[in-house]
Amino acid sequence: MTRFTLFILALLFCAVQAQAVELVASVDRSRLNSGETVELTLESNDVTQFGKPDLAPLEPQFEVRGTRQVNQLTTLNGDNRATTRWIITLLPKENGSVTIPSLQLGEVQSQPITLQVVESETQDTANKLAPVFIDASLDQTSVYVQAQAILTLRIYHSVSLYDDSSLTPLQIPDARIEQLGETRTYEKAINGLRHGVIEMRYAIYPQLSGELTIPAQMFSATLVDAQPAQDAATQTPKTGKLMRVSSAPILLTVKAKPITYPADMPWLPARSLDLSESWNPEPDHTQVGDSLTRSLTMKAEGLASSQLPPLPATDVNGLRRYPDQPVLSNQSTERGLVGHREDREALVPGRSGAIELPAVDVVWWNTFEDHLEHSSLPARTLQVANNPSLVVDTPASGAQLTSTADSEALWRWKLSTLILACTTLLGFGLWWRARWQPAISRAAQAGPSPRTVLDELKRACQANDPHATRQALDAWARQQPETLADMAARFVPLSDALDGLNGALYSETGQYWQGEDLWRAIKAIPIAERVHDPVGDSGLPPLYPK
Domain ranges of the chain: 24-118, 132-224+240-255, 269-387, 450-524
Q: Is 269-387 the same fold as 132-224+240-255? A: yes
54 secondary structure, DSSP code: B
CATH architecture of 269-387: Sandwich (2.60)
pLDDT of amino acid 15: 44
Comparison of pLDDT for 266 and 129, the residue scoring more? 266
Residues 6 or more apart whose Cβ sits within 8 Å of residue 301: 270, 271, 272, 273, 333, 335, 336, 338
Share of the chain above pLDDT 90, in %: 30
> Is residue 301 within 8 Å of residue 148, measured between CB atoms?
no
Is 0.75 topped by the overall pTM?
A: no
DSSP secondary structure string for all residues of 285-316? SEETT--EEEEEEEEEETS-GGGPPPPPP---
Name the nearest CA neighbour of 295 among 346, 340, 339, 338.
346
* Best CA proximity match to 358, nearest among 298, 312, 291, 308: 312
* pLDDT-based confidence at residue 125 (cuts at 50, 70, 90): very low
- Which helix (H) or strand (E) segment holds residue 79: the answer is strand 79-92
- Cβ-based neighbours of 33, under 8 Å, separated by 6 or more: 117, 118, 119, 120, 121, 188
Q: What angle do CA 144, 148, 149 make, to 5 degrees?
A: 95
49-98 pLDDT, tens per residue? 667 788 888 888 888 888 888 877 776 666 767 788 888 888 888 888 88
Report which of 90, 162, 167 is spatially closest to residue 135, judged by C-alpha positions.
Answer: 167
| In contact, 244 and 218? CB cutoff 8 Å | yes
Edge-to-edge strands, sheet with 242-246? 166-167, 218-222, 242-246
Give the H or E element holding residue 425.
helix 406-435
Digit-coded pLDDT (tens) for 336-362: 999 999 999 999 998 999 999 999 999
Write the CA distances from 103 to 61, 65, 135, 203, 506, integer angstroms: 14, 17, 35, 36, 54
pLDDT(443) > 50: no
Give CA 299 to chain center in angstroms: 11
Question: 10 pLDDT band (50/70/90 cuts)?
Answer: low
What is the mean predicted confidence (pLDDT) over 497-526?
Answer: 80
The count of C-alpha atoms lying within 13 angstroms of the C-alpha of 179, restricted to the half-sphere facing its C-beta, is 10
Q: What letter does residue 223 receive in the DSSP assignment? A: B
- Say which range, 152-166, 382-396, 498-512, 526-540, has the weakest mean pLDDT: 526-540
Of the CA atoms within 13 Å of residue 146, those in its CB half-sphere come to: 16
Residue 396 clears pLDDT 70, i.e. is over it:
no
Higher pLDDT, residue 259 or 103: 259
Write down the H helix ranges in 296-405: 396-401
Computed on alpha carbons and rounded to an integer, the radius of gyration of the chain in Å comes to 38
The mean pLDDT value for 226-236 works out to 50
- Is the confidence at residue 472, as pLDDT, over 80? yes
Which pLDDT does position 228 carry in this prediction? 54
User: β-strand 218-222 against 269-270: which pairing, if any?
Assistant: unpaired
Q: What angle do CA 477, 481, 484 make, to 5 degrees?
A: 35
Q: What is the pLDDT of residue 399?
A: 43
Query: Which CATH fold would you assign to the domain 24-118?
Result: Immunoglobulin-like (2.60.40)
317 membership: H or E segment, kind and range: none
Residue 88 confidence (pLDDT): 86
Do residues 156 and 197 make contact, with C-beta atoms less than 8 angstroms apart? yes
Q: Pick the most confident of 44-48, 147-151, 413-417, 448-452.
A: 147-151
Report pLDDT digits (tens) over 267-302.
Answer: 999 999 999 999 998 988 888 988 999 999 999 999
Residue 467 has pLDDT above 80, yes or no: yes
pLDDT band at 540 (very low <50, low <70, confident <90, very high): very low
The amino acid at residue 49 is Q
For residue 94, the 8-state DSSP code is S
Sign of the four-CA dihedral 538, 541, 545, 546: positive
pLDDT reading at 538 higher than 50: no
Question: Sign of the CA dihedral 434, 438, 442, 446?
Answer: negative
Residue 253 has pLDDT above 90, yes or no: yes
pLDDT over threshold 80, residue 438: no
Among residues 397, 324, 401, 313, the alpha carbon closest in space to that of 357 is found at: 313
Q: CB within 8 A of 133, min separation 6: which ones? A: 123, 127, 155, 156, 245
Q: Please determine, looking at this structure, whether the domain spanning 132-224+240-255 carries the CATH number 3.40.50.720.
A: no
The CA-to-CA distance between both ends of the chain, in Å, stands at: 88
> According to the model, what pLDDT value does residue 153 have?
94
Distance CA 100, CA 95 (A): 13
For residue 533, pLDDT over 80 is answered with: no
Mean pLDDT of the chain: 80
Which residues make Cβ contacts (< 8 Å) with residue 213, sequence separation at least 6? 172, 249, 250, 251, 252
Question: What is the reported pLDDT for 48?
Answer: 64
Name 539's Cβ contacts closer than 8 Å, sequence gap at least 6.
442
Q: Which of 231-240, 252-261, 376-385, 537-546 has the lowest mean pLDDT?
A: 537-546
The yes-or-no verdict on residue 11 having pLDDT over 70 is no
Contact 270, 253 (CB under 8 A): no
